[in-house]
Amino acid sequence: MSPQIDEKLETMYQEVLKRNPGEVEFHQAVAEVLESLSPVISKHPEYLERKIIERICEPERQIIFRVPWQDDNGQVHINRGFRVEFNSALGPYKGGLRFHPSVYLGIIKFLGFEQIFKNSLTGMPIGGGKGGSDFDPKGKSDDEIMRFCQSFMTELYRHLGEHTDVPAGDIGVGGREIGYMFGQYKRITNRWEAGVLTGKGLKWGGSLVRPEATGYGATFFINEALKVRKESFDGKTCLVSGSGNVAIYTIEKIHQLGGKCIACSDSNGVIVHEKGLDVELIKQLKEVERRRIADYATFHKDAKYIANGNIWDIPCQVAMPSATQNEINGKDAKTLVKNGCIAVGEGANMPTTPEGIKVFLDAKIAYGPGKAANAGGVATSALEMQQNAQRDSWSFEFTEKKLEGIMVGIHQLCYDTAEEYGAPGNYVVGANIAGFIKVADAMVAHGLV
């Protein structure tokens, strides 16, 4: 496998491959963390003795279940539901639910594994988990979505609880879906347990800044990384892939910080608007009318739509991949660097392939990996849990300030840890080691469980 993995860790990695055949995204996520851990095991031999790494790579619980539901024509459909409760050393399992046809166990495990370290970096008392289904919400009516969500929660509810496992949204799961699932949970349990799901509506226990949190947080992180280099967003040309929740609020915050975002995308193509994207129009098209990004060009005649285009071919100084895993490959990374890109902040989970990451690190650009850069979403979910526990509701400004403080703290932690372990400026090493050590120490403290 990877030449960067230490010999002792390589044996563990081979065991992961053997125990989890075919789960390529999970293998990739594990390899990416193990590549950073060699100096840690030299300094902390107790982690090897107690088999911390082997234990961290094995989920505490993996739940797979059938989700039957009926469409508007009376046809019955069967989907598969997942919840991987990966690690609870730091707190209850916390991580989103993804509804997308690509979902299978390997995707959920990669996301859950990443979530352990991401949640650790936030400094909040939350463990790592993830879930979802291979259900495709695209093109479904509200009633069909409701019936699916109710069926999904009818099984999942028995595994949840504010002190056990607290899901949120992810791709394909927004406020509407969380609402239907919360309603079903309440109906089955006869409990108004606000802290059992995050990403709720503002009128019934949700938190201000939660929709904006991942995008705002990723932008705050890269803003800090630019400051270290005596740079800022001011006047920078930026690209943001995707046009969902993360992308929209990344674009919004970039504009607030003085940058100009000129392109975004969806699964059909790319929209380029040299004057700067109209974020209010994107919100209307995507969040309200659920239309394709191609329709943007009908409102702005000076914008250009490229069907099936590659957003990373467009020259920029800051790139924020905010769509899905492995969207930037080695070739894309080389193009970005060649075109003058100085910073990459991952709003999505693992959007860059290992080849792409190597290109960014070799070029010494400011590269913020997802587990650090996009931790703002789960951090604000934890803030929502705090408000629920206190039966309280905070203002937008207060919550955004807390989010910014958390992201500044994550950046500093990753930066300092990279320095300490001999890889200055390498946020991948910093994030992996800082996230890992906190969880490992908790696992040592809890004994063999």
- Catalytic residue annotation: 130
Q: d(Cα 236, Cα 95) in Å, to the nearest integer?
A: 33
Residues 82, 87, 91, 95, CA torsion sign: negative
Does 412 belong to an annotated binding site? no
CA distances 318 to 238, 263, 368, 410, 426, Å, are: 5, 12, 11, 20, 17
Q: d(Cα 8, Cα 261) in Å, to the nearest integer?
A: 45
Does 227 belong to an annotated binding site? no
Using DSSP's 3-state secondary structure scheme, residue 24 falls into helix
Using DSSP's 3-state secondary structure scheme, residue 234 falls into coil
Say what the alpha-carbon torsion angle 384, 25, 223, 269 is, to the nearest 10 degrees.
-100
Q: d(Cα 239, Cα 272) in Å, to the nearest integer?
A: 9
The first and second tokens of residue 145, run together, are 């979505």
Instruction: Decide if 30 contacts 14 (C-beta within 8 A).
Output: no
Buried b (16+ CB within 10 A) or exposed e, 132-156: bbbbebeebeeebbbbbbbbbbbeb
Does 390 belong to an annotated binding site? no
Does 94 belong to an annotated binding site? yes
Contact residues for 439 (Cβ-Cβ < 8 A; gap 6+): 56, 87, 89, 90, 116, 117, 120
Does 322 belong to an annotated binding site? no
Does 214 belong to an annotated binding site? yes
Q: Token pair 């992961």 is at which residue?
A: 16
Does 245 belong to an annotated binding site? yes
Using DSSP's 3-state secondary structure scheme, residue 418 falls into helix
Nearest alpha-carbon partner for 72 in 174, 173, 142? 142
Output the known binding site: 94, 115, 118, 169, 214, 245, 381
Annotated binding residues for NAD(+): 214, 245
Numbered residues of the known binding site for substrate: 94, 115, 118, 169, 381
